[in-house]
Amino acid sequence: MSELEHVLVLAGGLSPEREVSLRSGARLRDALREAGVEADIADADAGLIPAITADPPSAVFPAIHGASGEDGSIQEVLTLLGVPYVGAPPDACRFAFDKPVAKAIARSAGLVTPPSVTLPRETFHDLGASAVLDRIMATLGLPLFVKPARGGSALGAARVSRAEDLPAAMIGCFAYGDTALIEQCVPGTEIAVGVVDLGSGPEALPTVEIHPLAGSYDYAARYTPGETEFHVPARLSPADAKEAANAAVTAHCALGLRDLSRTDLIVWDGKVFFLEVNVAPGLTETSTLPMALEAAGRSLGTVCRDLLSQAAARGT
Amino acid sequence: MLNEPARPSRVSHGGQEAPALAEATAAERAASSHGSLVDAHAGRYAARARGMVASEIRALFAVAARPEIVSLAGGMPYITALPLDAVGDMAGQLVAQHGAVALQYGSGQGDPALREGICEVMALEGIHAHPDDVVVTVGSQQALDLITRIFVDPGDVILAEGPSYVGALGTFASYQARVVHVPMDEDGLIPEALDECIARLASQSQRVKFLYTVPSFHNPAGVTLSAERRAKVLRICQRAGLLVVEDNPYGLLGFDSEPQRALRADDPHGVVYLGSFSKTIAPGLRVGWAVAPAGIRDKLVLAAEAAVLCHSSLAQLVIGEYLASQPWREQIKVFRELYRERRDTMLETLSAVMPEGCRWTRPAGGFYVWLRLPPGLDSKSMLPRAISSRVAYVPGTGFYGDGGGADHLRLSYCFPEPARIREGVRRLAEVVGAETEICATFGGMPRTGALGGASPADLTGPAGGAIRQ
């Protein structure tokens, strides 16, 4: 552990998750200050490099969600600047942020993930959307989950239960990115499992069960208090709870992640399905990671302070 | 490090030992699990708060406010064109010399001297009103709120142009009104359609409370109700005994002619007129007004007192002094020239770069161009692509209370400098081109509105602050 003089929380960015990130960042800064750390917020804009160069912080906590914050870009820049930061190194971020790649790595580590198809828009254009979509539905069945291969907060994502709704979902998805992940919709209990590594190896936090009251964990359900019911720990059998915790730690390790992560899973019929992993998990009042920390009897501020100290001691 | 003692938790009240994070005691934890909605008051909100939820569209507008994005979404007046030094000196002197009044409570109806000034402003549009008929409000937005509050019960019908001002639709929704849209063309509201609509609703025994209209330089449509149609619309409403709410924030910002005669000028008993200094002076002062027949006026004053007790005395005195001592008519000319140049830039660039199949209005004043996308495109579902391409607009669905408008979008030219307008429109053209390709790929397949549209509620409030006017 290293003494922290001054730390920077990175929040904002230009992705559609900017607003969420600003809320995460503000909450983290306040929590760090409560934990006795001198913390400020900086946006990832043209002022960032001059500010860090003029007054290098002891360490940086990236809380930028979506592209640039989670795809390894900001981590690459921080590495270039020689500034220690919390979280996974650039390569691991790149793998984790790309959902199809993360699924493949999780699968090769022995995890189960829902059957899916990943295709760029050119394929639909060149081969004919109708033929491709028909084949996808014949193979994966309905309902399906359509989501951008890269991105978060369910932006551009849609659950499709009727064939005639699929084209609109594809158009909505491609507005967020050029590659779509079309995944079989697995029914079951949706859970999020945070993983924290404070030097003695990655450990899973209590599972958080997500029960959106309107049925779908979309953007409104994620960020409107009162729209989703959370259970911490999740109402799972001991065996399922243990398997979910193990799955999150396995994904964290297989993807080469560091410090902290959050893995989204579905538990159904005694099986745990890996959906995706986040390297800069949301820290808003409706985000699951702070809930899990609280349930574990830990404060967001002290855990993040310790992660920053660890990063400072590690260097770049 | 994970060995801190367990604390009571707001979420789970689980009280489990921290070291047992993943292993063992899962059964204990499951048994002790309590659901949390995060908001302890969920379930107690009024029905009218049902639509007040986080939205993707608002998230996108949080990005649009960044300088890297050319925002053609916001309807912010170009305040830097004001003589800010002179206004600053004036406000300073007001406090120094009249602070005991400027910083004190005032009357619910508004400062009498300001109400006289307001009558002078309205005279430019042919309105001859007495200061006693004027009720000062917190922007004309509050006038809209008050007029809806005193007239509308849940389920009542309000007629409005289709499209209509997003901030009005938000207010109407908060009082649980049902908005019925009446179509427009390039000459504004279509009188025959209005007549037919009133008859249809009457045959269904619907309670229609008023017609809400923005007759000049419409937001978002950019069109203006012709003089001939103004008379027809008034006749139709008089015959039906229907109150007209005339919202006219842009009336003095015409580029090519003298201000149009207001509807209120020809029917003082059947029209409530809403005015605003937000576009002609400054929106930050939040001063607007309503002019209403005596019975309505009295209720508006009582409703205003219930809502805010009184308005900002300081803001009212600043506006009053500005009207009395500054060349405000000349300043409006400055604004008009500035906005005319920007409109020209936008229209020229649209003509030069927009793909086939787009159509747009040619506003003779005000702030907005209303653009129709090529068939099959949806402005809401296209917005993320636009934001990624660093340009923002407002999806058309925000301007309808019934889910319509997906094939349109609103562009504003009032705030960005001409060079930024050109760049923004170029970026938009590329976005429309790319989206057209995607839609062609998935075209010919049945489309449904599976994803829904941006509702007025998505576009009002803090995130919509920059886009609502």
Average pLDDT of the segment spanning A12-19: 89
pLDDT at position B54 is 82
pLDDT at position B40 is 85
HSE at residue B364, side-chain half, CA atoms within 13 A, is 17
Distance of CA A133 to the CA centre of its chain: 28
The rounded distance, in Å, linking the Cα atoms of B286 and B142 is 9
Distance of CA B467 to the CA centre of its chain: 7
Alpha-carbon dihedral A112, A116, A122, A127, rounded to 10 degrees: 140
Lowest-pLDDT range of A211-215, A275-279, B329-333: A211-215
CA of B270 vs chain A CAs: smallest distance (Å) = 42
Assess contact for B108 and B305: CB atoms under 8 A: yes
The verdict on a CB contact (< 8 Å) between A233 and B18 is no
- Helix (H), strand (E), coil (C) string for chain B: CCCCCCCCCCCCCCCCCHHHCCCCCHHHHHHHCCEECCCCCCCCCCHHHCCCCCCHHHHHHHHHCCCCCEECCCCCCCHHHCCHHHHHHHHHHHHHHHHHHHCCCCCCCCCHHHHHHHHHHHHCCCCCCCHHHEEEECHHHHHHHHHHHHHCCCCCEEEEEECCCHHHHHHHHHCCCEEEEEEEECCEECHHHHHHHHHHHHHCCCCEEEEEECCCCCCCCCCCCCHHHHHHHHHHHHHHCCEEEEECCCCCCECCCCCCCCHHHHCCCCEEEEEECCCCCCHHHCCEEEECCHHHHHHHHHHHHHHHCCCCHHHHHHHHHHHHHCCHHHHHHHHHHHHHHHHHHHHHHHHHHCCCCCEECCCCECCEEEEECCCCCCHHHHHHHHHHCCEECEEHHHHCCCCCCCCEEEEECCCCCHHHHHHHHHHHHHHHHHHHHHHHHCCCCCCCCCCCCCCHHHHCCHHHHHCCC
User: Average model confidence (pLDDT) for chain A?
Assistant: 95
Residues with Cβ within 8 Å of residue A222, at least 6 apart in sequence: A153, A154, A228, A282, A286, B54
Asked if A119 reaches chain B (Cβ–Cβ under 8 Å), the answer is no
Quickly state the pLDDT bin for B42 (edges 50, 70, 90). Answer: confident
Average pLDDT of the segment spanning B208-218: 98
A276 is catalytic: yes
What three-state secondary structure class fits A83? coil
Quickly state the pLDDT bin for A68 (edges 50, 70, 90). Answer: confident
Q: pLDDT at residue B10 above 50? A: no
Number of other residues whose CB lies within 10 A of the CB of residue B24: 15
Quick one: closest CA in B to A237, which residue? B27
A223 is catalytic: yes
Assess contact for A227 and A221: CB atoms under 8 A: yes
Task: Render A270-315 in DSSP notation, one character per residue.
Answer: TEEEEEEEESS---STT-HHHHHHHHTT--HHHHHHHHHHHHHHH-
pLDDT in tens, B165-205: 999 999 999 999 999 999 999 999 999 999 999 999 999 99
Quickly state the pLDDT bin for B30 (edges 50, 70, 90). Answer: very low
Q: pLDDT at residue B22 above 50? A: no
Quick one: closest CA in A to B440, which residue? A125
pLDDT at position B35 is 82
A203 is catalytic: no
Average pLDDT of the segment spanning B110-132: 97
pLDDT at position B379 is 95
Quick one: closest CA in A to B381, which residue? A172
Percent of residues, chain B, with pLDDT higher than 90: 78
User: Average model confidence (pLDDT) for chain B?
Assistant: 88
The rounded distance, in Å, linking the Cα atoms of A257 and A265 is 17
CA of B31 vs chain A CAs: smallest distance (Å) = 8
- Quote helix, strand, coil % in chain A, to nearest 5: 40, 20, 35
Distance of CA B220 to the CA centre of its chain: 9
What three-state secondary structure class fits A175? coil
Joined tokens for residue B32: 């002790």
Quick one: closest CA in A to B66, which residue? A14
A17 is catalytic: yes
pLDDT at position B26 is 44
pLDDT in tens, B155-171: 999 999 999 999 999 99
Q: Choose among B382, B377, B376: nearest CA to B394.
A: B382
Buried b (16+ CB within 10 A) or exposed e, B422-452: bbbbbbbbebbebbbebbebbbeeebeebbe
pLDDT at position B237 is 98
Alpha-carbon dihedral B64, A63, A191, A285, rounded to 10 degrees: -80
CA of A81 vs chain B CAs: smallest distance (Å) = 23
Q: pLDDT at residue B431 above 90? A: yes
Quickly state the pLDDT bin for B1 (edges 50, 70, 90). Answer: very low
The rounded distance, in Å, linking the Cα atoms of A106 and A96 is 10
What three-state secondary structure class fits A250? helix
Active-site option among A243, A262, A287, A301: A262
A13 is catalytic: no
Query: How long a stretch of residues is chain B?
Result: 469
The verdict on a CB contact (< 8 Å) between B26 and A236 is yes
Distance of CA B307 to the CA centre of its chain: 20
Chain B residues in contact with A228 by the CB 8 A cut-off are 37-38
Helix (H) or strand (E) holding A180: strand A179-184
State ipTM: 0.89
Quickly state the pLDDT bin for A223 (edges 50, 70, 90). Answer: confident
The rounded distance, in Å, linking the Cα atoms of A64 and A52 is 17
The verdict on a CB contact (< 8 Å) between B30 and A236 is yes
pLDDT at position A24 is 96
Asked if B205 reaches chain A (Cβ–Cβ under 8 Å), the answer is no
The rounded distance, in Å, linking the Cα atoms of A246 and A239 is 11
Quickly state the pLDDT bin for B21 (edges 50, 70, 90). Answer: very low
The verdict on a CB contact (< 8 Å) between B384 and A176 is yes
CA of A105 vs chain B CAs: smallest distance (Å) = 23
- Partner residues linked to A179 by β-bridges: A120
Q: pLDDT at residue B466 above 50? A: no
The rounded distance, in Å, linking the Cα atoms of B133 and B109 is 9
The verdict on a CB contact (< 8 Å) between A231 and B435 is no
Using CB atoms, which residue from A16, A133, A162 is nearest to B59? A16
Q: pLDDT at residue B449 above 80? A: no
pLDDT at position B367 is 97
- Residue A145: what are its φ and ψ, rounded to 5°? -115, 120
CA distances to A304, B204, B358, B412 from B370, rounded to whole Å, are 48, 32, 11, 9
Joined tokens for residue B298: 């009295």
What three-state secondary structure class fits A60? strand
Average pLDDT of the segment spanning B111-124: 96
Query: How long a stretch of residues is chain A?
Result: 316
Q: Choose among A248, A226, A224: nearest CA to A236.
A: A248
The rounded distance, in Å, linking the Cα atoms of B396 and B15 is 50
N-term to C-term CA, chain A: 14
pLDDT in tens, B80-90: 999 999 999 99
Quickly state the pLDDT bin for A97 (edges 50, 70, 90). Answer: very high
The verdict on a CB contact (< 8 Å) between A225 and B37 is yes
Chain A residues in contact with B66 by the CB 8 A cut-off are 14, 18, 45
Q: Choose among B144, B134, B127: nearest CA to B108.
A: B134
Q: pLDDT at residue A179 above 60? A: yes
Asked if A233 reaches chain B (Cβ–Cβ under 8 Å), the answer is yes
pLDDT at position A15 is 86
Joined tokens for residue B300: 């508006």
Average pLDDT of the segment spanning B247-272: 95
pLDDT at position B458 is 57
Using CB atoms, which residue from A164, A167, A230 is nearest to B38? A230
Assess contact for B416 and B79: CB atoms under 8 A: no
Number of other residues whose CB lies within 10 A of the CB of residue B196: 13
Quickly state the pLDDT bin for B456 (edges 50, 70, 90). Answer: low
What three-state secondary structure class fits A246? helix
Joined tokens for residue A256: 């080469």
Assess contact for B307 and B145: CB atoms under 8 A: yes
Quickly state the pLDDT bin for B382 (edges 50, 70, 90). Answer: very high
pLDDT in tens, A22-47: 999 999 999 999 999 999 999 999 99
The rounded distance, in Å, linking the Cα atoms of A277 and B291 is 58
- Partner residues linked to A263 by β-bridges: A193, A277
Average pLDDT of the segment spanning A74-78: 97
Interface probe, candidates B10, B23, B38, chain A, greatest A C-beta count within 10 A: B38
Assess contact for B367 and B45: CB atoms under 8 A: no
Average pLDDT of the segment spanning B296-322: 96
- Residue A5: what are its φ and ψ, rounded to 5°? -90, -55
pLDDT at position B33 is 54
Active-site option among A12, A17, A69, A72: A17
Active-site option among A21, A58, A116, A278: A278
Can you list the positions of beta strands (E) in A200-286? Answer: 203-204, 208-212, 228-231, 260-268, 271-278
pLDDT in tens, B348-374: 999 999 999 999 999 999 999 999 999
pLDDT at position A211 is 92
pLDDT at position B348 is 98
pLDDT at position B454 is 55
pLDDT at position B32 is 52
Average pLDDT of the segment spanning B423-431: 98
The rounded distance, in Å, linking the Cα atoms of B70 and A99 is 30
A264 is catalytic: yes
The verdict on a CB contact (< 8 Å) between B56 and A219 is yes
Q: pLDDT at residue B447 above 60? A: no
Q: pLDDT at residue A79 above 90? A: yes
Using CB atoms, which residue from A153, A204, A306 is nearest to B1? A306
The rounded distance, in Å, linking the Cα atoms of B263 and B272 is 9
Residues 36-75 of B with CB under 8 A from A: 36-39, 41-43, 45, 53-56, 58-60, 62-63, 66, 68-69
Q: pLDDT at residue A83 above 90? A: yes
